[in-house]
Amino acid sequence: IANADQKDADRDGHGDVCDKDFCYVVSDAQTCLDPNAAFAVNAGGNRAVRTGQRVPLLIWANRQNMGIQYEWILVNKPEGSHAVIKHPVGSVTLSTPFNYHYKKGRRVELVPDLPGDYTVELRAKLAFADQKYPDKRDASARVVLKAKGSPVDLGGGCSAAGGSSAGLGLVLLLGLGLLRRRK
């Protein structure tokens, strides 16, 4: 019997009273996180984003509030892209319930600068041996960000349009010097 008030702690669409298996759903039921299985992580489902958008890269794990060391790697990006991952290496310990929180000022982000696919890999390692599976401390997951929109200048490349204000100032000073010299 459908019951909208029933709690669904694993977010699979089946209320806890009727759900015999707990497997926390991040983006789809096929890639859920089972707390009774060996250490596993999830980087969220593939998603559409906009060029120039700050995209947080999130960590989910099938363990709660455990020390996890992480590394995010940009495996693939559109040709000519200068996008990089901000704060790609670090550690987390606090989760709600299976979504881990970055330390203040250390949120991991990617800003796509060109339209196309950005494949990002999360490599994670438990800081301490797991009680259930002590030999399984490493896990990884991938996510594909499909960026759409106009190319965005992230300030890392060369530009033929415009110029630096310092260069323009130097040209003006030289021009004034030549004018003073003629007088």
Residue-wise pLDDT tens digits, 120-166: 999 999 999 999 999 999 999 999 999 999 998 876 554 444 444 44
pLDDT averaged over every residue in the chain = 82
Across residues 77-91, what is the average pLDDT? 98
Res. 170: pLDDT tops 70: no
Per-residue model confidence as pLDDT tens digits over 21-56: 656 677 766 677 888 899 999 998 899 999 999 999
Q: Which residues contact 143 (CB under 8 A, 6 or more apart)?
A: 43, 44, 45, 46, 47, 57, 119, 120, 122
Taking 70 as the threshold, does the pLDDT of residue 93 lie above it? yes
pLDDT score of 133: 95
User: Do the beta carbons of residue 11 and residue 24 sit within 8 Å?
Assistant: yes
Q: Is the dihedral of CA 41, 63, 8, 12 positive or negative?
A: positive
Give the Cα separation of 15 and 3 in Å (integer): 8
Looking at the predicted structure, is the pLDDT value of residue 94 above 80? yes
Q: Which residue has the higher pLDDT, 4 or 130?
A: 130
3-state secondary structure of 127: coil
Do residues 144 and 118 touch, judged by C-beta distance below 8 A? yes
Alpha-carbon distances, residue 164 vs 13, 174, 177 (angstroms): 55, 16, 20
Q: For residue 80, give the amino acid letter.
A: G
Q: Which residues contact 165 (CB under 8 A, 6 or more apart)?
A: none
Which stretch of 11-20, 57-66, 82-91, 147-156 has the lowest confidence by average pLDDT? 11-20
